[in-house]
């Protein structure tokens, strides 16, 4: 599974920030709604938790506004494409210098603005956390990222996890995953999609 390092930060409803390793199920974090506005969405569960691991990340830096986020290469990140009729998400490894991503900007009046990618480099980081929110996306270090990885289509990924989100809505706590490793539901989906050759094999 693909994730963020433990020292990555998210913005909570009310304006506080939390490190990824401190994030809890039930926290409401900044994300994007279907209209493109900032919304605070509940953390449903974690799709992967590796608290004591050392991992390779891609660090993406933007300018005007400035932001920097570390993300694993097969994790999806939103790309701002003015030619597309809808927002697109691409694997972090496919992002290029000169591309634009969504960057959260402002305090009292929060909004997304276009951040031009000015640097991409490989880095090492401690821990690996992959929170799943109700919207299927999350703002990490002020950059809009998907909650999903390996599956190349954000919408397919989001619908694939709809049964898990619905089960959590019916029976709060049933989707919980607090131990180290990949969530059983994510593992099951991965096996199904690799058997269909919908995704290429990657290391979970």
| Percent of residues, the chain, with pLDDT higher than 90 | 73
pLDDT at residue 174, rounded to an integer: 87
The whole-angstrom separation of Cα 204 and Cα 187 is: 8
The whole-angstrom separation of Cα 2 and Cα 204 is: 7
The neighbouring-strand residues paired with 9 are 19
pLDDT at residue 86, rounded to an integer: 64
Q: Where are the domains of the chain?
A: 9-195
Report residue 48's pLDDT band, with 50, 70 and 90 as the boundaries: very high
The pTM score is 0.91
Whether omega before 92 lies within 30 degrees of 0, making that bond cis, reads no
Instruction: Classify strands 100-105 and 28-32 as parallel, antiparallel or unpaired.
Output: unpaired
Report residue 201's pLDDT band, with 50, 70 and 90 as the boundaries: low
Report residue 186's pLDDT band, with 50, 70 and 90 as the boundaries: very high
The whole-angstrom separation of Cα 92 and Cα 96 is: 9
Cβ partners under 8 Å of residue 140, min gap 6: 4, 8, 9, 10, 20, 69, 71
Could you read off the pLDDT of 73-93 as tens digits, one per residue? 999 999 987 666 567 899 999
Q: Tell me which of 2.40.30.10, 3.20.20.80, 3.40.190.10, 2.170.16.10 is the CATH number of domain 9-195.
A: 2.170.16.10
pLDDT at residue 53, rounded to an integer: 92
pLDDT at residue 195, rounded to an integer: 81
Mean pLDDT of 125-153: 96
Cβ partners under 8 Å of residue 47, min gap 6: 1, 130, 131, 132, 147, 177, 182, 183, 185, 186
Mean pLDDT of 176-189: 89
pLDDT at residue 79, rounded to an integer: 95
Mean pLDDT of 28-52: 94
Contact predicate 157/136, CB 8 Å:
yes
Instruction: Name residue, tokens 């995704």.
Output: 199
Mean pLDDT of 102-129: 91
């Amino acid at each position: 599974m693909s994730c963020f390092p433990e020292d990555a930060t998210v913005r909570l409803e009310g304006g506080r920030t939390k490190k990824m390793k401190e994030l809890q199920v039930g926290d409401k974090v900044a994300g994007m709604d279907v209209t493109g506005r900032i919304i605070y969405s509940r953390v449903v569960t974690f799709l992967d938790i590796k608290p004591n691991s050392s991992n390779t990340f891609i660090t993406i830096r933007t300018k005007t506004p400035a932001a920097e986020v570390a993300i694993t290469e097969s994790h999806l990140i939103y790309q701002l494409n003015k030619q597309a009729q809808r927002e697109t998400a691409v694997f972090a490894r496919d992002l290029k210098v000169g591309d634009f991503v969504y960057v959260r900007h402002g305090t009292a009046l929060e909004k997304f603005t276009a951040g031009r990618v000015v640097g991409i480099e490989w880095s090492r980081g401690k821990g690996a956390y992959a929170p799943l929110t109700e919207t299927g996306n999350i703002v990490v270090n002020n950059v809009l990222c998907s909650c999903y990885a390996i599956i190349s289509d954000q919408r397919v990924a989001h619908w694939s996890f709809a049964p898990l989100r619905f089960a959590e809505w019916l029976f709060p706590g049933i989707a919980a995953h607090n131990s180290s490793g990949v969530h059983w539901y994510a593992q099951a989906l991965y096996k199904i999609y690799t058997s269909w050759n919908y995704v290429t094999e990657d290391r979970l």
